[in-house]
Structure 1
Amino acid sequence: MSAPTLSPATLPAPDSQYDLIVVGSGAAALSAAVTAAIVGLKTAVIEKADVLGGTTAISAGGVWIPCNHLASAAGVRDTPEAAWDYLRHCAGACFRPDLVAAFITHAPRMLRFMEDRAAVRFSYAAGRPDYRPDVPGAAHEGRTIHPLPFDGRHLGSQIGRLRPPLREMTFLGLMIKPGPDLKHFLNALRSFDSFRFVARKLARHFRDLIVHRRPMDLSNGNALVARLMLSALEHGADIFTACGLESIEVREGRVVAVQVATAKGLRRMVASRGIVLAAGGFSHDRARQQQLFPHAARGQSHHSPVPATLTGDALRAAEAAGARLNLHQRHAACWAPVSRIPKSDGTHVNFPHLIDRQKPGFIAVNRSGLRFVNEASSYHDFGQAMIATCEADSEVTAYLIADHRAMRRYGMGAARPHPLPFGEHIRSGYLIRAESLAELARRLELPTETFLETVRTFNEHARVGHDPAFGKGSNLYNQYNGDASHRPNPCLAPIESGPFYAVRLHIGELGTLLGLDIDHRARVLDQTGRPIAGLYAAGNDASNLMGGDYPGGGATLGPGMCTGYLAALHAAGQIDDAPDPPVRA
């Protein structure tokens, strides 16, 4: 791979001419751009932020694709029928046969296309199950794949345009892959092999910081965006940052151009084949939150960890051009619990709790001091339970509770595991510590006797590896995210070794699920249900084909990449309008 040279054109020229213009720069947008450029379309990417990657760049980067060739090569058997049954169960009454048929048919082809013709590479995530492993059609492994690590040096000067990961979710700035890499870091002081693995990773990381002043060993979503960036640039796509969509121009029923805001004022860009909207949804659009998020509609706060530039600009521009939203979804967003890390300037960083809740020695309680959820369930299901249990409260909040043994073994939110210090989090009030459970209840303003009884009951069952109340650790997904070395249940241990700790949880999300109504070729539909010629949507700007559910790791990135791919192929005339046959009648 050769490092691409930064184009001298940092702003689009007035009335610049392209075949396809892609709005956004996450996995969905860049998949559309890469596909379009490879099949011969003159392609431009416009990104509102100063950096590229959107939410994808700060994510774990998992991509959910049933029947993919990587799992098949590893001996995992999956079928289109099983994937169909699983998605139909998860989506319920919001199931869209046309979108699901297109996804199951074309997502494996998209993956092959990216690996064969672009610089995008993935690895099979052994043992990683779907989020609902006990429902019909669920896969116990194989559908979630991860981007291979990427050496940022291949991007040359373009590396400065890549959005960095959230530093609070790294280890000293180093990105850690989920799965085996994470287990090595958690076991670095218990296993010589793990210690050696971590030492080598850190040595290279610190060398990169000295030489390049930034991490170069990219992984997770950062690696996925970097690979897509390189592919788009190598195939001639123009990529513009600090270039936000203002409006869409429609002439005689067809989209023909966009107006974009730049440092030099408004610029018009013409698109002869179409425009793909993939700008990441409306996570920070307060007005739409209050309209569509149940808790925000009640006046409760929402705290999103995704980039602040995701304010729904593409949705508003599309609606002004005659498009409609699909509001027939189970949920408006992929919910997630977050804690708020205070910064010295008075602001906060929203930290998503993805890997601590599931571990032995942790529970979550509401403001009544009661458990309310299987703590090892997916972030989406956990967040949904938070919204429900706090319906009558002034805010959607809960507390994650752990004893000293669990907190130092696994870490707790932004507080890292032993041997790293955590005093700053005590001093800032982020991490709340007490010598006894009764004192912790008082500090959290919880009903003391109720809280003590909650912990006593949990401990009684945890000692024998059983959670009759909520089933923590009772399925493969729970256990995958627990501690495999802990017996008898990788997710359960009593909370009894003081001091005791708590982190306050708030409701957030990892992306919105209500988007523009699209058809099986990613064409945006108007108010009558007919396609708007030349207008496409992908990713979180498009209708969620999971029916507003979140059934597996990468369940937005996989469909997002597929719809971006289909949009580009359709714009290029390389795929027809005929619907894909349903997998089951």
Structure 2
Amino acid sequence: MSAAITAHLEGLSVLMLEKTAHIGGSTAISGGAIWIPFNDQTEKVGHPDSEAKVWEYLHNVLGEIPNRSQMQAYLDRGAQALRYLEQHDALRLLGRVYSPDYYPDRSGASMGGRALDPAEFDARELGGKFRELRNPLPEFTVLGGMMITLTDARHLLRVTRSFASWKHGMKLVLRYFKDRLQGYHRGTRTLLGNALAARLFARMVSLGIPYRLHAEVTALLRADPQAPERVTGVEVQTPAGTEQLSARKGVLLATGGFPWDAEMRQAHYPSPTGPYSMSPTGNTGDGIRMGREVGGVLGTGNSSPAFWAPVSVLQRADGTALRYPHLVWDRAKPGLIAVNSAGKRFVNESTSYHEFVIGMYRSHEQVATIPAYLLCDSDFIETWGLGLALPGGRPRQHLEHAGYLVKAPTLDALAGQLGMDGNVLKETVARYNLHAAQGQDPEFGKGSTAYNQYLGDPDHQPNACLAPLQKGPFYAVRVYPGDIGTALGLQADAHARALNAQGTPIPGLYVAGNDQNSVMGGAYPGPGITLGPALTFGWIAAMHMAHPEAAH
């Protein structure tokens, strides 16, 4: 959508083809953060930055920068892309006053200013097109379709204890019920990535940019005898049949990477891997496959092929699976630990979701850690919940019956249900509890960084991330190494042009989003390092198509 809007505004004729029934892809179900240093709000929110500081941080997280010229283009032009899209009413972003980078203890890190969030968007502006927007993940809504932020969630958990929270909660609920009474299929107050996708989509609609749903691109065309390597259009499969469409300026691939292509997962993911992606199931590597068919090549040297997240899985009675990503809500809170099959801790539970899964794979080389187990006591689950198990005394028996949530009166009994040595688990918890009561974790450093504390409970002392596990019954949830999208993709240059094996641009072919090899090389330095490059390189691709002579 970033590319489509830009290309249209720059005078090109545009058509956006969407394989599924809904607009928005992974963005619509994401947290929506955008990481772009030197954006126009960086200084306004109190975090002046410098190019030297950003490069220092990136080197300290990524090591060798995989594609330096592309990274330079991202840093040079990211803020330009946001400014352009905001000036043309396609974006509205809010700078984060406080939002530590994911490795805040590494030199060059920032405590805020690099990440932005989409402002909430009133989807009533979409009219009848609202149903064409991809819904957020249902487990991140309440009351069957009301989106909420972390701040909203904290207020809703306190509605019976605080008048301010009651007032906040009632305002949300009344708006939601009004939406449903007026016939909307869910709440029209969109937030996070859903708001980002909704605003972009609404701008496309208002500009009259044509798009098609249920339009699966199956091949790239090369029909210019004077330039046989040039991509000149696409073959698209629609409910009405197969069509061939020509493109004068270029084709941009942005089909969401390959998280649901079992063959590519098996070839490129660490072992073991399973169907645990949070991406839409339509993201099956179509763009990458087609790009390779015309000479495109995969990136090399990535530290990870995907952006990881621990995922718990509920097997429903009808045979379907519900996946829940443990991103920022429960792992960092005080009173939760993660253990492997031996009943021992193996990672800082409050580290980033990406780093947590890296820890799972690392531990699995020595002792079975796939699945791993998130453990807590009754006080924790009543306060924070655990995955799909909601807090505040809400019903959880169905999760126990399904085998998703394991409950036991004692740690010994819990260990027995999980196939662990009870003495080892009790020793692990006792050692953790001893230090947690003092606000320390000398073994793994839970709660030791600004990012850890940011996700903890600010009202809990002496450490926002640490509290003993003491009160039975005790609970556990199995988590698997899942992903929120792939990082391995087609190699591209600073203009988002797909490159061949010789490093030469393939004429007429551009690539962005998760089809493009991650500019971060599979590392995850901060919130929004997928959406930031997606918006930027979509804009860069469109500007290059419209003004190739201005490329520098």
TM > 0.5 between the two? yes
CA RMSD of aligned residues (A): 1.5
8 Å Cα contact 1:441/1:451 also seen in 2: yes
Does residue 1:93 correspond to 2:64, yes or no? yes
* Inter-partner Cα distance in structure 1 for 2:104 and 2:261: 34
Q: 1:196 aligns with which of 146, 151, 167?
A: 167
- Structure 1 residues 371, 286: CA separation in 2 closer, same or farther (over 3 Å shift)? same
**What residue number does 2:331 align with?**
357
* Inter-partner Cα distance in structure 2 for 1:344 and 1:206: 30
8 Å Cα contact 1:90/1:547 also seen in 2: no
**What residue number does 2:198 align with?**
226
**What residue number does 1:237 align with?**
209
Please state how far the C-alpha of 1:388 moved relative to its aligned partner. Answer: 1.8
8 Å Cα contact 1:37/1:232 also seen in 2: no
Please state how far the C-alpha of 1:548 moved relative to its aligned partner. Answer: 1.2
* Inter-partner Cα distance in structure 1 for 2:386 and 2:288: 36
Please state how far the C-alpha of 1:395 moved relative to its aligned partner. Answer: 7.5
Q: 1:256 aligns with which of 228, 232, 239?
A: 232
Deviations 1:509-558 (A, max 9, x none): 00100010000010100111100111111110001111210111111000
Please state how far the C-alpha of 1:421 moved relative to its aligned partner. Answer: 2.5
Matches within 5 A, 1:152-301: 152-211=123-182, 212-250=184-222, 251=224, 252=227, 253-296=229-272, 300-301=273-274
* Inter-partner Cα distance in structure 1 for 2:159 and 2:298: 48
Does residue 1:461 correspond to 2:461, yes or no? no
Does residue 1:552 correspond to 2:552, yes or no? no
8 Å Cα contact 1:88/1:95 also seen in 2: no
Q: Secondary structure at the residue paired with 2:250?
A: strand
Please state how far the C-alpha of 1:88 moved relative to its aligned partner. Answer: 2.1
Q: Secondary structure at the residue paired with 2:489?
A: coil
Deviations 1:68-122 (A, max 9, x none): 1123222321122211221222221243221111111111111111111123101
* Inter-partner Cα distance in structure 1 for 2:374 and 2:317: 24
8 Å Cα contact 2:145/2:186 also seen in 1: no
Q: Which ranges in structure 2 are unaligned for 5 or more consecutive residues?
A: none
Q: Secondary structure at the residue paired with 2:117?
A: strand
**What residue number does 2:306 align with?**
333
Which is further off, 170-179 or 349-358?
170-179
Q: How many residues align?
A: 546
8 Å Cα contact 2:147/2:187 also seen in 1: no
**What residue number does 2:30 align with?**
59
8 Å Cα contact 1:94/1:330 also seen in 2: no
Q: Secondary structure at the residue paired with 2:260?
A: coil
- Structure 1 residues 487, 190: CA separation in 2 closer, same or farther (over 3 Å shift)? farther
Please state how far the C-alpha of 1:183 moved relative to its aligned partner. Answer: 3.2
Please state how far the C-alpha of 1:336 moved relative to its aligned partner. Answer: 0.6
**What residue number does 1:347 align with?**
320
Q: Secondary structure at the residue paired with 2:244?
A: strand
Please state how far the C-alpha of 1:208 moved relative to its aligned partner. Answer: 1.1
Does residue 1:415 correspond to 2:389, yes or no? yes
Q: Secondary structure at the residue paired with 1:70?
A: coil
**What residue number does 2:375 align with?**
401
Q: 1:542 aligns with which of 502, 516, 524?
A: 516
8 Å Cα contact 1:128/1:140 also seen in 2: yes
Please state how far the C-alpha of 1:341 moved relative to its aligned partner. Answer: 1.8
8 Å Cα contact 2:363/2:369 also seen in 1: no
Q: 1:324 aligns with which of 297, 300, 304?
A: 297
Which is further off, 143-152 or 388-397?
388-397
Q: 2:537 aligns with which of 563, 581, 585?
A: 563
* Inter-partner Cα distance in structure 2 for 1:425 and 1:557: 33
Which is further off, 355-364 or 207-216?
207-216
**What residue number does 2:446 align with?**
472
Please state how far the C-alpha of 1:137 moved relative to its aligned partner. Answer: 1.3
8 Å Cα contact 1:92/1:547 also seen in 2: no
* Inter-partner Cα distance in structure 2 for 1:394 and 1:179: 33
Does residue 1:449 correspond to 2:423, yes or no? yes
* Inter-partner Cα distance in structure 1 for 2:276 and 2:61: 26
**What residue number does 1:111 align with?**
82
- With normalisation by structure 2, the TM-score equals 0.96
* Inter-partner Cα distance in structure 2 for 1:214 and 1:464: 45
Deviations 1:145-165 (A, max 9, x none): 111111111001111111101
Please state how far the C-alpha of 1:170 moved relative to its aligned partner. Answer: 1.6
Aligned letter for 1:309? G
8 Å Cα contact 1:322/1:526 also seen in 2: yes
* Inter-partner Cα distance in structure 2 for 1:362 and 1:575: 57
Q: Secondary structure at the residue paired with 1:569?
A: helix
**What residue number does 2:351 align with?**
377
* Inter-partner Cα distance in structure 1 for 2:39 and 2:146: 26
Does residue 1:532 correspond to 2:540, yes or no? no
